[in-house]
Amino acid sequence: MDREVPRGREGMTAMALKLSARDANFQAAFAALVAKGRETKANVDDVVASVLADVKARGDAAVIDSTRKFDRFSLTPETFAFTKAEIAGAASQCDATTLKALNEAAERIRDYHVRQLPKDEFYRDKAGIGLGWRWTAVSSAGLYVPGGTAALFSSVLMNAVPAKVAGVERLVVTMPTPDGKTNPLTLAACAVAGVDEVYRVGGAQAIAMLAYGTKSVRAVDKIVGPGNAYVASAKKQVFGTVGIDMVAGPSEVTVVSDALSDPAWIAADLMAQAEHDASSQSILITDDDGFAGRVIEAVEVLLKTLPRRETAAQSWRDHGAVIVVRSLLDAPDLINQIAPEHLELAVADPQTLLPRIRHAGAIFLGRHTPEALGDYNAGPSHVLPTSGAARFSSGLGVMDFLKRTSLIDCTGAGLAAIGPGAVAMAQAEVLDAHAQSVALRMKSPNS
């Protein structure tokens, strides 16, 4: 394990953690890297609980007070929502090229998610019992769009389009507008995605507003979308009152590359995650020590040019890693332990590695498939499990907005066939009413 001494601020960068599979302590060092937390250390749960309780008790007034305190501007119930004219007019404030890209991305995302729609099923088994299921969308969903250090208008498309494809009737967007300022591209994305209501409210108070409802805003059935530590805590605390998608942590990428890739390409891929947030993580896995050094050098060059270089440099220094393995065939085992949000296989034949990879939010195959495409217009939603959650969960999609209802249709003959078994099981569990519920019908199967 090796870490270069950090340079001064004028250099803006410091060496990420470097590990070699040939080192005797590699396994321990790698395990420490995987286990290392990147979340904000401050415990915000108590503050969030107070905000939630306040909004639940006082409704609109509490939302107004919290917005004044945290986002530094005043609201009234009449100004919670953006008007239809404001949403429609936002497009005129946007660059035409960006608007065109926004519409094209929405169409690609829509096309991808239409293919995810599941089918209803109904059949009769050999006992004559009719069985099946049907899918219905949640009636309403709230989408939180972060507005912090980078207003991610692309998140509107990535959350709202799958919801609309699923058939959600009422889709609500809420977003922070610090000092009352709004990115017109976010409103334009709401119009493109077919969002029904847009509110200029952020933070824990927005989650409370969506979960509990107020006099001015009706509650929703499910809340999705990323946010800061306060938003994440609020989503956890309102779960059960409403559904949620996931509690997302800082963004991350793992890039697997051989020595034939362009080091500048790989450096850009790593910094594309690092520039999100100082808590983001970028990891390179390669089988060539010389290539690892060239990528590190390319990162240093690139960092000098980035507008968000301070954020990216801190992420790279505090959470970045370069791992040199004996063979790229060893990479899947490491990947499955990391379970990264994003995984790039920038190698000659990614299909060689793919079958052995079980845990990753999204996988980008080949040298010409940078993760940034997934952020914007490849098609799949960029809302993905982080912090190892890809071991047990999936990225956001149509299924997150659907519910499956079981269907059972039993005839008299069918009851005669399977009823005795149900009675026996109920009696064994000492649930006599259960047993009678079946047995009484068996005595008069045609009544």
The confidence score (pLDDT) of residue 445 equals 59
Inside any domain, residue 398: no
| Residue 330 and residue 432 in one domain | no
CATH of residue 325: 3.40.50.1980
One domain, residues 231 and 93: yes
- Count Cβ atoms below 10 Å from residue 95 Cβ, excluding itself: 11
DSSP string for 91-130: GGGS-HHHHHHHHHHHHHHHHHHHTT----EEEE-TT--E
155 is a domain residue = yes
SS3 letters for 15-72?
CCEEEECCCCCHHHHHHHHHHCCCCCCCCCHHHHHHHHHHHHHHCHHHHHHHHHHHHC
CA dist., res. 342 & res. 276, Å (int) = 14
Q: Which residues pair with 223 in a beta bridge?
A: 142, 244
Same domain? 295 vs 378: yes
**Single residue among 214, 246, 278 that ends a domain in this structure:** 246
Residue 309 lies in a domain: yes
pLDDT reported for residue 4: 42
Same-domain pairing of 230 and 279: no
* Same structural domain, 282 and 382: yes
Give the span between the Cα atoms of 361 and 383, in whole angstroms. Answer: 9
The structural domain count of the chain equals 3
Q: What is the pTM of this model?
A: 0.92
Q: Do residues 202 and 69 share a domain?
A: yes
pLDDT tens track, the chain, 447 positions: 444 433 434 445 568 999 999 999 999 999 999 999 877 556 899 999 999 999 999 999 999 999 999 999 999 999 999 999 999 999 999 999 999 999 999 999 999 999 999 999 999 999 999 999 999 999 999 999 987 545 689 999 999 999 999 999 999 999 999 999 999 999 999 999 999 999 999 999 999 999 999 999 999 999 999 888 899 999 999 999 999 999 888 999 999 999 999 999 999 999 999 999 999 999 999 999 999 999 999 999 999 999 999 999 999 999 999 999 999 999 999 999 999 999 999 999 999 999 999 999 999 999 999 999 999 999 999 999 999 999 999 999 999 999 999 999 999 999 999 999 999 999 999 999 999 999 999 987 565
Q: Letter for the amino acid at 285?
A: I
Contact at 8 Å (CB) between 432 and 398?
no
Is residue 146 included in any domain, yes or no?
yes
197-199 and 170-174 strand pairing: parallel
- The confidence score (pLDDT) of residue 435 equals 98
Clarify whether residues 238 and 260 are in a common domain: no
Residues 344 and 312 occupy one common structural domain: yes
> Which domain does 229 fall in, by range?
45-118+136-246
Of 193, 226, 246, the residue that ends a domain is: 246
- 3-state class (DSSP) for residue 325: coil
Do 241 and 255 have their domain in common? Answer: no
Q: What is the pLDDT of residue 40?
A: 59
215 & 156 share domain: yes
200 and 58 share one domain: yes
Residues taking part in catalysis: 341-342
Asked if residue 404 is part of any domain, the answer here is no
Could you tell me if 191 and 273 lie in one domain?
A: no
In a domain, 256, yes or no: yes
pLDDT of residue 443: 87
Helix (H) or strand (E) holding 282: strand 281-286
Task: Mark 39-69 as b/e (b = at least 16 C-beta within 10 Å).
Answer: eeeeebeeebeebbebbbeebbebbbbbbee
Report pLDDT for 408: 98
